[in-house]
Chain A
Amino acid sequence: MKYSIFSLARAALSGHKSWTRAWRDPAPKSRYDVVIIGGGGHGLATAYFLANEYGIRNVAVLEKGWIGSGNAGRNTTIIRSNYGLPGNTGFYELSMKLWERMEQDLNYNTMVSQRGIINLYHSDAQRDAFARRGNTMRINGIDAELLDAVQIRKELPFLNYDNARFPIMGGLLQRRAGTARHDAVVWGYARAANEGGVDIIQNCEVTGFVRDANGKVTGVETSRGRIGAGKVGMAVAGSSSRVAAMAGLRLPIESHVLQAFVSEAIKPLIPGVITFGAGHFYVSQSDKGGLVFGGDLDGYNSYAQRGNLPVMEDVCEGGMAIMPMIGRVRMLRQWGGIMDMSMDGSPIIDKSPVDGLYLNAGWCYGGFKATPASGLVFAHLLARDEAHPEAALFRLDRFRRGAMIDEKGQGAQPNLH
């Protein structure tokens, strides 16, 4: 069913009882051309692009719980393409362009809202670094504007400009950045993939790989039985090491917990996304009115999906430093998600050393904004057995080759990226 103002009006006349389910709930078949492990945004986007761009429709997405129950439901919904290094710049801009047409492509309201992101700077050195990043973006066709404090003050009059240690001197603005509705992204891709013929199989945990005599992966063992596959793609960020271990692989990844927070709902206050450049704090306002904010990783390996108090304190201190009035707002909820922290802070989209098994991993805490491009380039890799041009640098062997994409310049210490 195509969603439109007319379908809404028709359903309204029948008391909204005529809506049908948005995707089927099939039993797994015995074999698929491609099996994707992980029914999050990335896995479902991959299936959507396989069916709609690459004509591979005999595809299953296997999800341990319900779709979108992992990091797709635990992020802070920010979309942006303000990256400075080769590899990242073009990839995230590809993603931004896909966000801009997503609602038309999927016929689904994913609430993409391009309200802009401002990265504040607090020193001459940081201004120079942001000017360089902005220039890198602009020569790659991405919008960026370097604002001074007077210009920022017009847009964000409520910030503390005279903090003695970290005065706000200006900011780098990307107007096309913004937020999107995370659940709607998952549901939109699920519905569109389903229409392309993809089987979305929930409550189906992968427990092992089926290998032939040469070691090639030919299927997966699951809690709902054995499923054969021409190719298997992993899109299970947060648990990549655990799934890869079933195929005997060790990855350059550590799993870490990242917390995020939302306040009680207040009237419209924050126009876009704001990031603090002297600590790690970022904030935006959801359409419901809550302030959505976050900061650093807790810093220790974790699979627990919950964090600890010192980081909550640190994040709130960052908020108080740039925006003292945030102290009057009560925190409503807090949660933690498990991040695939790679050794250089950038993702891995590549064939694995095991024949028939493909990796989409290492998203650190930038996975949400990458959802559409991640799906497109991973589908390209699965369909053609070669890297998409915009993902050609996200190789697994780049660590051995010394070809890291280390946007933050922290080296092989994942809890610092």
Chain B
Amino acid sequence: MRIACPFCGERENGEFTYLGDASPKRPNFAVDGGESPERVEDAFYDYVYLRDNVAGVMREYWYHGGGCRSWLVAERNTVTHEFISVTAAPGAGAASAVRAGE
């Protein structure tokens, strides 16, 4: 696999570290917001442990530690290892690359 970093160009994947699926979002409950402990626990259990484990195109986080040290979001096919797109992760020092809605 070669990964086309939006800042550095196409580089071999040994320069990158993988975090995983980009879809789980950390639950955000207001302190003393009246949520039941069960609901909070369920939400965190889901976030920390459960995965869709997609067979097909998945959005995922990669870190370019051997290059620009940016966090990236790639769309990659887990069955063929083909990359569809690689963009800067929101908040990774590339505000202009923030996707709509994130």
Contacts and interface: CB of A to CB of B under 8 A. Distances in A.
Contact of A301 (B21, B45, B50): B21
Given A303-B79, A304-B81, A399-B45, A253 B18 contact: no
A238 to B, nearest CB: 11
Contact of A254 (B12, B20, B41, B48): B20
B78 A302 contact: yes
A300 B50 contact: no
Interface in B33-66: 41, 45, 48-55, 58, 60
A313 B79 CA distance: 23
Nearest to B14: A310
Contacts of A399: 45, 48-49
A301 B12 contact: no
A252 interface: yes
Interface string A212-224: 0000000000000
Nearest to B47: A412
Given A313-B14, A412-B48, A301 B60 contact: yes
Contacts of B13: 300, 308, 310
Given A301-B20, A303-B78, A313-B14, A308 B51 contact: no
A contacts with B: majority SS: mixed
A198 to B, nearest CB: 29
A251 B53 contact: yes
Interface residues of A, number: 26
A354 to B, nearest CB: 15
A242 B79 CA distance: 12
Nearest to B54: A301
B18 A254 contact: no
B50 A251 contact: yes
A299 B78 CA distance: 12
A343 interface: yes
Given A300-B18, A310-B12, A252 B51 contact: yes
Contacts of B51: 241, 250-254
A308 B81 CA distance: 10
Given A241-B52, A251-B53, A304-B79, 5 more contacts: A242-B53, A254-B21, A300-B76, A301-B53, A309-B14
Contacts of A254: 20-21, 51, 53
A255 B52 CA distance: 10
A400 interface: yes
B49 A301 contact: no
Nearest to A244: B53
Nearest to A308: B1
Nearest to B81: A304
Nearest to B50: A250
Contacts of A251: 50-51, 53
B14 A252 contact: no
B80 interface: yes
A405 B48 CA distance: 16
B53 to A, nearest CB: 4
Nearest to B42: A400
A308 B80 CA distance: 12
A415 interface: yes
Nearest to A401: B45
A241 B52 CA distance: 7
Nearest to B56: A303
Interface string A377-397: 000000000000000000000
Interface string A392-417: 00000001100000000000111100
Given A308-B13, A399-B49, A412-B49, A300 B55 contact: no
Contacts of A415: 18, 20
Contacts of B60: 300-301
Contacts of A302: 78, 81
A301 B60 CA distance: 9
Interface in A127-170: none
A309 B1 CA distance: 8
B49 A252 contact: yes
A374 B58 CA distance: 32
25 contacts: A241-B51, A241-B52, A241-B55, A242-B55, A250-B53, A251-B50, A251-B53, A252-B51, A254-B53, A255-B78, A299-B17, A300-B76, A301-B54, A303-B79, A304-B78, A304-B79, A308-B81, A309-B12, A310-B13, A343-B49, A399-B48, A400-B41, A412-B48, A412-B49, A414-B20
